[in-house]
Chain A
């Protein structure tokens, strides 16, 4: 791929990134979603975050594994987030659990 077409590729990926994000924000009140749809969309963040996090915790090398170090680290992070308001504690608990289990598992 030559230099020019590489930059053209960046530009098109940039459009494919900014347009979906800016679309409804820019259109604003000219395009109004029905109230029912808006209420349903309130569940989008929880659903999307879980859709990214859960496979990351459960899938090891392409298949589901219920016992693994990442899942243990994730559970530790959830526990820390529930138990304390300290914003850094989930990071410390999660990383420590992951690295300790990886270390002792060899």
Chain B
């Protein structure tokens, strides 16, 4: 590999890591909660870590856990997992142009490592840069870092189950982490419209089964942002 290609990878990795670092704070309590939840569902440490390594998805793991514990039929567990992951079809399509020029094995790895935070950090930035190596570095640094954090703190949670007092409300750190990602996006008017519409729709539709309300709300938010963009464009022209 030529020197310049390596340094582009490293430069991208450094910038991606810096952009993602504040978000990763929110992963810690989330992973601890995950470890504790799997332990309290009756999994042995080996089974819990096995699920964590094979699945690597907070919401899909937490969402299917009660079904597994209740010995629900396999198809229902799989359908639930798919529904919980549906938003990633949208994310995957939106971020895909950022992987132009990158080989198939790396794409599978990157796809497996895609999370909400990594998507929010990388989606816009990867469209703007031409250098393939830089883009790969910018994506891999935050995604590998969040994988490592997730696995380590889930392991800690498995063994620490019951030690951290519930009264600390540490899970709220995850919500704050999402807010930290959302605020800079919402400085652009149509993005703010998309966020308000999506947020309110998700609140109103929260009782739909299988968390379908979240998926519907995302579609409503996207439509609202798109309409707002067109209206803004038209009023600027007239």
- Interface of A with B (CB < 8 Å)? 1, 5-14, 16-18, 20-29, 33, 37-59, 64, 70, 73-74, 77-78, 81-82, 87-88, 90-91, 94-95, 98-99, 102
Contacts and interface: CB of A to CB of B under 8 A. Distances in A.
Contact of B90 (A16, A48, A81, A91): A48
Contacts of B54: 10-11, 13-14
Main secondary structure of the interface of A (DSSP, over half): helix
A83 B51 CA distance: 41
Contacts of B203: 54-55, 58-59, 64
A25 B110 contact: yes
Interface of B: 21-22, 25-26, 47, 50-51, 54-57, 60-61, 64, 68, 71, 74, 77-78, 81-82, 85-97, 99-100, 104, 107-108, 110-112, 114, 116, 119-120, 123-124, 168-169, 172-173, 175-186, 190-192, 194-203, 206, 214, 217-226, 229
Given A24-B92, A49-B120, A88-B25, A40 B178 contact: no
Contacts of A54: 198-200, 202-203
Contacts of B201: 51
A38 B97 CA distance: 10
Contact of A21 (B112, B124, B198, B222): B112
B120 to A, nearest CB: 5
A14 B100 contact: no
B77 A9 contact: yes
19 contacts: A12-B74, A16-B82, A20-B85, A20-B88, A24-B93, A40-B223, A41-B90, A41-B93, A42-B124, A44-B218, A46-B186, A46-B225, A47-B217, A47-B225, A48-B116, A50-B221, A51-B214, A81-B179, A88-B25
